[in-house]
Amino acid sequence: MSKTEKTEKTVKSEKSEKGSKTAKELKEKLFLKKKNAYFHLSDADFEKCDKFCEGYKRFLDAAKTEREAAGFIERAAKAAGFVEFDKNKTYKPGDKVYRVNREKAVLLAVIGKEPIERGVNLIAAHIDSPRLDMKQNPLYEKDELGYFKTHYYGGIKKYQWTTVPLSLHGVIVKSDMTKISVNIGEDENDPVFCVSDLLPHLAATQMKRSATEIVKGEELNLIIGSRPFKDDEASEAVKLNILMLLNEKYGITEADFLSAELEAVPAFKARDIGFDRSLVGGYGQDDRVCAYTELMAILEAKNLKKTAVAVLTDKEETGSDGNTGLRSAYLKYFIADLAKTFGACGRDVLSASRCLSADVNAAFDPTFPDVFEKNNACVLNGGVCVTKFTGSRGKSGTSDASAEFVGEVRALLDKKDVIWQTGELGKVDIGGGGTVAAYIANLNIDTIDVGVPVMSMHAPFEITAKTDIYSAYKAFCAFIGG
């Protein structure tokens, strides 16, 4: 029987049923059903979900920058039996390897039983998040206050980053190439830093600026001190005192900032939101919510048919350029090196592979419904979100997963009882956005976006739902396992 005949037969039998069935029964059978996870998860699942999210919140607190996340992931991988990948060794099913790219991106692989030429199951999430980066020459004093000049990283609403306690993370590389790690503001006894904003009493003119300029980029100045050096009533005594403190603590001088990467991020910890504790609030959930769920899935992977590869990448928020972003060749090189250990060709492996681009989507916000098209928006507690295409203005910039690949993922998630939904990033022509999906698809890999809905995305305090986080983890386990 051809496929067309089968379809006609189905239509006929539906017609004959129509008379005997009620509208309710027919709706049950024919309509697309949207799920709220709360009606579908068992009590045992809820318990696992809550426990899983405790680990997730600890990850958010411990890994606020790409470097810290890469370090966390490497330590977790080692603890789970992963060893550093050596392209001159040979590997067998069950072996677990990793490669770190410049302390900012990590690749993990678990070798499967099938020949690697049949492709790998790839999952990719990013571990960088919007923040305030210190400029190369950041330190200055103005009217007896000490400041760092910043240049924001990623797409932010600049006014959201004022009057929020910020911590400082990163590295300073001295001229003798010694590297100093900086992490100030996370410990309760640490000081924090802050960008000021104008009091409402005097903000009448400021409030007339357009929202993108209420706080301008050059006004995101980080307050770092106010106490002058005692013996000096001359100029820049506050700056001098700060440099003296930094010299005592780190042995640095002002010139050492030239070769530093210092990032200001919200100093607060991830917390439960709501009387029912159903939501998670925290900084950097885009995309560390997918990074953590993906990491847990691959750390626990065993007896795999196909080799699984997890990529935790940097630079997504600035467009994936640079050698630690996914437009770089580091993923391609890793797959090629891995293929070679089996005597296979990297190109063949890539072409036979499939990928979940694990990134967040915008959760429908009932307070701001106008920007969403409700039939195609994802919602909190609707499960993990499958996004066929991203992009903007006529899908520009999207890789747009094929119907065949969406069908494959859909069947898999249903088979493994994963609660999932679909999503689109806002109404047509309202805005849009992209992920790393296109750069992976460009390697001739079937790729689709699958991730967690986030409310207040790119704000210092983002909101996710625990059931969606757990569903993402289950989806990634299913993808690696199936």
DSSP state of 226: -
Structure tokens at 209: 């600026």
Distance of alpha carbon 148 from alpha carbon 146, whole angstroms = 7
Residues within window 356-385 making contact with Mn ion, judged by CB under 5 A: 359
Size of the chain, expressed as the number of residues it contains = 482
Minimal distance, residue 309 CB to Mn ion, in Å:
19
Of 294 and 359, which has the nearer Cβ to Mn ion? 359
Coil, strand or helix: which one is 140? strand
Q: Which residue is nearest to Mn ion (CB)?
A: 287
> Which window, 24-32, 54-62, 278-286, 403-411, contacts Mn ion (CB under 5 A)?
278-286
Size of the site for Mn ion (CB under 5 A): 3
Distance of alpha carbon 381 from alpha carbon 468, whole angstroms = 6
> Which window, 202-210, 236-244, 353-361, 418-426, contacts Mn ion (CB under 5 A)?
353-361
- Site of tokens 């039939």: 375
Partners of 362 in beta bridges: 454
Minimal distance, residue 192 CB to Mn ion, in Å:
24
Site for Mn ion contains 314 (CB under 5 A) = no
Of 111 and 326, which has the nearer Cβ to Mn ion? 326
Please, are residues 426 and 371 in contact by the beta-carbon 8 Å criterion? yes
Minimal distance, residue 10 CB to Mn ion, in Å:
40
Site for Mn ion contains 286 (CB under 5 A) = yes
> Which window, 245-253, 285-293, 350-358, 388-396, contacts Mn ion (CB under 5 A)?
285-293
Of 141 and 287, which has the nearer Cβ to Mn ion? 287
Of 286 and 314, which has the nearer Cβ to Mn ion? 286
Structure tokens at 337: 């090196």
- Site of tokens 């898999």: 412
Minimal distance, residue 126 CB to Mn ion, in Å:
6
Minimal distance, residue 287 CB to Mn ion, in Å:
4
Residue 331 Ramachandran class (φ > 0 left, ψ -120 to 50 alpha, else beta)? alpha
Please, are residues 49 and 467 in contact by the beta-carbon 8 Å criterion? yes
Of 126 and 306, which has the nearer Cβ to Mn ion? 126
Structure tokens at 80: 């789970």
Minimal distance, residue 264 CB to Mn ion, in Å:
17
Minimal distance, residue 458 CB to Mn ion, in Å:
6
- For residue 346, the tally of other CB atoms under 10 A from its CB is 18
Binding mask 155-174 for Mn ion (x = CB under 5 A): --------------------
Phi (first) and psi of residue 139, to 5 degrees: -85, 130
Residues within window 178-237 making contact with Mn ion, judged by CB under 5 A: none
List the Cα angle 402/408/410 in 5-degree steps: 100
Site for Mn ion contains 287 (CB under 5 A) = yes
Ordered DSSP codes for 418-453: --EEE--SSSTTT--B--SHHHHHTTT-EEEEEE-E
Minimal distance, residue 154 CB to Mn ion, in Å:
6
Site for Mn ion contains 95 (CB under 5 A) = no
Of 129 and 341, which has the nearer Cβ to Mn ion? 129
Please, are residues 355 and 446 in contact by the beta-carbon 8 Å criterion? yes
- For residue 199, the tally of other CB atoms under 10 A from its CB is 8
> Which window, 31-39, 47-55, 92-100, 351-359, contacts Mn ion (CB under 5 A)?
351-359
- For residue 259, the tally of other CB atoms under 10 A from its CB is 14
Of 41 and 331, which has the nearer Cβ to Mn ion? 331
Of 127 and 224, which has the nearer Cβ to Mn ion? 127
Of 287 and 446, which has the nearer Cβ to Mn ion? 287
Q: Which residues bind Mn ion (CB under 5 A)?
A: 286-287, 359
